[in-house]
């Protein structure tokens, strides 16, 4: 249909041109002494238009002729870019396919073009690293242009971590710019280096940041934060002031973690801060989803100096966990600490009733507590019976543990 439209358009143009020319009978005289040239007006207009077209064609041809060197240079540049792009692609494919020598050669060819030089040199360095050609690897990194050197430093830190030189990797990462240090990959490498160096404060900071920005699986991040927090508590070495500052720096999720709460409380208790140690465990027990079986055994050993308010709190825990033997055992120990022998004995017997068959160690500890209580109220026969039951439970529990049951 397009050719038909062009035919119609040309026919219309010819008809219009014929109509315009038919009504103009004038002449044009050109005097070139001693000659005189007479032309019709229509022919003169036609020749003028033809001359303009020829002049335009000549100018265009001359312009193209002058632009040939530039066009040739542009063609050669585009050709080099295409060859370099193909070489870089080939290098990456060889690198991923484990053909490191070919990858290095192809990357060297691609690095001849400035636009592809950073990526080509990094690929070549990666290939040299895989072949353990460390001198060539370092030479490629040294040849990197300025903006790409931080990427090379990042790769080098990764290799240093693989080589178990975490300290050098950590120093290299700290020399990066602020924007580069905030990248997810940089923080992951810094986390690996900090874990290797047992830098628990840095591990806690990086794992928290990566979890917040979804740069680390939540389960892995939580495990790392948990281990780092325990490491920091151990490093505090029972120093009450350091433990207090450290505990305030933890977020609520860590403070309510049973294992961390118990570790912090034991550190404070060893430093002579029994009341503060109990406060940590009480705070953890008040949290939603608290685990009494994990927290109360540690709290039972820190009851020196308690008052009636603590007994009331322990009894409130019985109401919260009515089927939990640990809650009853804790309340009994608290009552015994204040010499409330009747209530203590009542709670201990209830705790025995709630003990599960596999909780032999807990049952043995309750029998031992009952035996001590009976001795305090001078019931030696009852004390002896509970001592025997305690020994049987604890001995059977140890035997089961040794046999792998």
Prior bond to 34 cis, omega within 30? yes
pTM of the full structure: 0.74
Crossing angle for the helix pair 325-337 and 308-320, nearest 10 degrees? 170
Place of tokens 């950073």: 118
Compute and round to an integer the Cα radius of gyration of the chain. Answer: 45
Half-sphere exposure of 405 (CA within 13 A, CB side): 9
CA distance 279 to 18: 109
CA distance 348 to 151: 65
Maximum separation of any 2 CA atoms in the chain, in Å: 159
CA distance 111 to 85: 10
Confidence at residue 402, expressed as pLDDT on a 0 to 100 scale: 41
* Pair 260, 246: CB distance under 8 Å: no
Residue 134: both structure tokens together: 């460390």
Confidence at residue 262, expressed as pLDDT on a 0 to 100 scale: 93
Which residues of the chain, if any, have pLDDT below 70? 1, 7-8, 10-11, 13-25, 396-405
CA distance 364 to 116: 74
- Residues in CB range of 91: below 8 A, 6 or more apart: 102, 103, 104, 106, 107, 110, 120, 123, 124, 127
Place of tokens 């005097």: 31
| Exposure string over 302-321, b if 16+ CB within 10 A, otherwise e | bbeebeeebbebbbebbeeb
Confidence at residue 10, expressed as pLDDT on a 0 to 100 scale: 67
176-226: pLDDT as tens digits:
988 899 999 999 999 999 999 999 999 999 999 999 999 999 999 999 999
């Amino acid at each position: 249909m397009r050719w038909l439209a062009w035919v119609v358009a040309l026919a219309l143009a010819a008809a219009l041109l014929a109509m315009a020319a038919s009504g103009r009978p004038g002449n044009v005289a050109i005097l070139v002494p001693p000659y005189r040239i007479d032309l019709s007006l229509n022919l003169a207009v036609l020749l003028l238009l033809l001359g303009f077209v020829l002049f335009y064609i000549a100018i265009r041809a001359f312009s193209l002729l002058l632009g040939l060197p530039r066009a040739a240079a542009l063609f050669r540049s585009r050709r080099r870019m295409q060859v370099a792009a193909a070489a870089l692609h080939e290098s990456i494919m060889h690198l991923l396919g484990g053909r490191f020598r070919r990858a290095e050669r192809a990357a060297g060819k691609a690095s001849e073009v400035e636009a592809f030089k950073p990526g080509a040199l990094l690929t070549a360095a990666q290939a040299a690293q895989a072949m353990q050609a460390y001198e060539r690897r370092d030479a490629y990194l040294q040849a990197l242009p300025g903006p790409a050197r931080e990427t090379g430093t990042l790769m080098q830190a990764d290799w240093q971590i693989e080589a178990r030189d975490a300290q050098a990797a950590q120093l290299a990462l700290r020399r990066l710019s602020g924007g580069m240090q905030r990248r997810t990959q940089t923080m992951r490498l810094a986390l690996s280096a900090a874990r290797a160096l047992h830098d628990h404060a840095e591990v806690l900071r990086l794992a928290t940041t990566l979890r917040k920005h979804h740069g680390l699986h939540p389960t892995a991040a939580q495990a790392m934060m948990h281990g780092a927090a325990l490491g920091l508590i151990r490093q505090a070495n029972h120093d009450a002031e350091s433990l207090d500052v450290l505990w305030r720096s933890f977020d609520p999720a860590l403070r309510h973690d049973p294992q961390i709460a118990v570790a912090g409380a034991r550190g404070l208790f060893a430093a002579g801060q029994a009341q503060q140690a109990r406060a940590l465990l009480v705070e953890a027990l008040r949290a939603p989803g608290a685990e009494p079986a994990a927290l109360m055994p540690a709290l039972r050993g820190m009851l020196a100096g308690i008052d009636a308010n603590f007994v009331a709190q322990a009894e409130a825990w019985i109401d919260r966990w009515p089927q939990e033997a640990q809650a009853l055992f804790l309340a009994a120990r608290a009552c015994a600490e204040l010499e409330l022998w009747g209530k203590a004995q009542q709670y201990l017997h209830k705790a025995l009733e709630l003990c599960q068959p596999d909780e032999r160690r807990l049952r043995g500890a309750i029998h031992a507590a009952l035996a001590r209580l009976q001795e305090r109220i001078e019931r030696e026969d009852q004390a002896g019976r509970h001592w025997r039951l305690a020994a049987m439970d604890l001995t059977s529990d140890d035997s089961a543990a040794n046999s792998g049951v």
